[in-house]
Structure 1
Amino acid sequence: MGSGHELAATALDTLPITVAIIDDEGKILLTNRSWREFATAEDDEHVGANYLAAAVTADDEYAEQAVAGIEAVLAGDRDSFSMEYPCHSPDEKRWFLMRVTRFSHNGQRLASLVHLEITERKLAELAAEEHAQQLREERQTVEHVLERVDGLVREVTDAAVSAETRAEIEREVCQRLAATDPYVLAWIGRVDVTNRRLSPHEWASDDDVPLEDDELVLGADDAHPAVQAFERGDTQVIEDVTAHDDADRLWPTGAGDHFQSVAALPLTYGDVTYGVLVVFAAEPDAFDERELLVLESLSGTIATAMNALEVRRMLTTEAVVSVEVAIEDPSLFVTALSETFDATVSYRGPTEDDDGTPLVVLHVDRVLEDVAVETAGIGHDVTPLSTTDDGTLLEAAITDGIVTALSEHGGVIRELAAADGIADLAVDFPDGRSARSAYDFLERRYDQVELLSYHERDEPAQTPHDVTARLESSLTDRQLQALRKAYYANYFEWPRDISGEELAESMDISRSTFHQHLRAAQRKVLAELLE
């Protein structure tokens, strides 16, 4: 080919790509240095060898594709052909781009074969595709989670809002949760404040997952997560019950066979906790941050719905919550007076003096000779109203606020009596929330408070609160004061414990003025009852 051929061959040797020239039969006419070096390393063909014949013998889909493309170019069916193919060694993975281009020289049909290594680009493409696939899978996972969460939130919210009773809320919520993967059991527990126990009230499970058998004791060491959630007021999670030290004690039926993670959430609205929601999952680490946010939102929705039902019930119910407690604290005013007089002191009812100072009417079950002397130093302004064979009637300015505080919680005192250092208190509340809030106040305020009973009882549709509200709006302050003093001092009993003159003196008015106020008040009370 002369000097031109030598120049072309020399130029090809400088290229960092493998190049070969073949004739229309596939025989190699010319190669560059990169081709020869690669061919030596791969024990491949040199000048004079038939490239197509060698490729045909290779049992490889890429070789078949290459032969078909080269033959099409040499036959004139196409001007060029290119393909990418792998050429991996035991030590590394490599990819190449082959490009075949037809040309003529001295009337002979020839083709150039160029092999360019594209390993870096291919690895980058594979990495990008792998990342894209990962993103697609993550997006699908997120979409699935969002779809599940959206459905769960919608169903639980609908169940909570549309329920007519608290038990219905609890039952529907548990069923919705237990039917949602990966949850297998859900229960809602209530607290019995009388015996300090927390126990499941409504529950639902998937695949017969067993429920805890025993009541859970409040205040116990190493307590169940439900107890911890109730007492601490925040979410408690066990990520893997099989690795938990107390799993066999908390779930003796074999927790790991049925569920592997647990979350307990308090159902709290304002300062009232209605119970605890406990959710079990079939797999460990099911309650990640995202899952807990959803459950905490749901627990808030459940508590809000329970509060709405309680408020509605409070407005329409014909029942009240009755609470009876025993208080041991020398600072309680009836207890202090009982210790001072060495007698039983009973609360009759509230009243007030001319300037609005709260007063209470009290009965002492013995005759007091000198009230001023016997009450000196106890911190209460006590005034005798009357004395009978049954004891002494007193009027005292209260300072510790138990009567006012219970009233602010919606409570009506049915009984408050102290003897031997113990005060027995019975109060009616319009709803459970008020009762629990008042009980918390008593526990914070006094040394020892023992809950004796907590139950609902029937009450007429028109409560004393309704009548009192209407009467207080129609009675003057003096009329109401005269009526209260007369009633709590047993003026309407026979024989009377106190005279009208004594009551008038306690109000610092004349006897005739007292009776004028009392008759006016009685007329309005009778009008309320009879008209």
Structure 2
Amino acid sequence: MSELDIDASTAKLLESLPDLVYILDLDGGLLWWNDQVREVTGYDDEELSEMDGFDLLPSEQRVDAREALADFESLPPGYTMEFDVLTTDGRRIPHEFNSTVLEVSDETVLVSIARDISLRHDREAALRRQRDELDTMNRISETVHGVIRGIVDAASREEIESTVCERLAASELYRAVWVGRNTPEETITPETGIGVGEDFLGVMDELNDLEWTRPAQKALDTGEPQAAQQIPELSFPDPVREAAVERGIESGVAVPLVHRGNVLGVLVVYSSRSEAFNDREQAAFRRLGEIVGFAINAVQTERLLLSDSATRLTFRIESPEAFLASVSTLADGPCRHEWSTPAGADRYRHYITVSGLPPERVEAIAEETPTVDSAEYVGSNGDDGVFEVVTTDSLIRRLLEAGASPVSLEARDGETTFVAEVPGDAAPRPIVEAAKEFYDAELVSKHEVERPVRTVEAFHHGVDDRLTDKQEAALRHAFFGGYFSWPRDATAEDIADTMDISSPTFHYHLRHAQQALVEAYLQHLED
């Protein structure tokens, strides 16, 4: 165990310590060690007796250790140093060394106590990672907010997409960015982007044409961000991994650009950080995708609403394969699309009216139509039945994604006619191509229309034309009498007594007045 004769009580004391204890001569030779040295390093007493203290340290740390030993007398009391202790199996265990010079058996020796600080290192490393992650998230947040500020004043979808790419690519956090849109063939086409190397968008387009599970396509299909880390090591096609290596790309995320459940496109961002796009970073980009989607919808809507003129396109579909056309082959009269709203990722909820066809027949046709998720009878509107239909794909969706505003859609005897509008200064070609790809729609007319100014006075006249005197009286008594307050200040019976009519009569007039108001409002929106 040792080449130094120390008394039993001192040896017992040193053996009781949980730390490594060495006694070395002033040249670094091992004179004594406790059992902990053997247990931690894996060396036996015979091996240790042939070693000096520096042999237990990594080679790159021995110079510092020798210099510290040579200058030990000049070091302040309590001075500590950190070195790694080598084990027989090649592990490096960080220790903190505290040493002092003593006279033992008439010999000047160095007594060194080394404490394992692995846990402290782990805690410090964890704190550093947390600080680094916090710093990175702050930079990500600043970058994302910079993008948002940049798109506030954008006047077109193209300007929004370009601004997003420019702002993200300018950050040292990201290597390349592109924005893509779905084509009528359901493939992704990069519209704009900034990347590493020549013809970046061309390379991205080629990679999208490969047969593989593309994160960008999956983001469009699911409406959820899709992240990939350590791309060169993933089971992606060789051209994909090679392109990543050539451009220093380690990770990427595909973010759907969403507005009210409608996926308008996809933002794809690449980084040289191998562990980029964790859950928190994805959450920031998810929010960015929603804001960009909102901005795209806003500029398209504003462009259409504020345009003094519009191009009105009328199409005809002769194929009876579409759901409304299929229903119309059995109906007694025209089947009309009334209204649509997003219903989640790539789904739309439509309200249609069907003339003279039992609900069960309509629902049976819906079950046989691949693009229809569900169809439910809502009620009647005069002689027509009203149905709520949820679709995974539809002509309405294609028109909206192409930047058009649907005006009307009607099917009769298996033939469908629909009308859409685009701003007068917009090119109608994308809408025509989108319609043609969907059931081979044929453009039958195109003409410019003036968009009249919708005034409050016009709305008031529309309401006045619909309300009878009794309906207006019921509405006014109900409003001023507190019938619409919450909680109500008066019941229907109270209002009926005030008007000196029966409660059923009051309900009759009020219900028809409310219907007239809603009809006038909706008609005002369509005009």
TM-score normalised per structure 2: 0.50
- Give the number of the structure whose alpha-carbon radius of gyration is greater: 1
TM-score (norm 1): 0.50
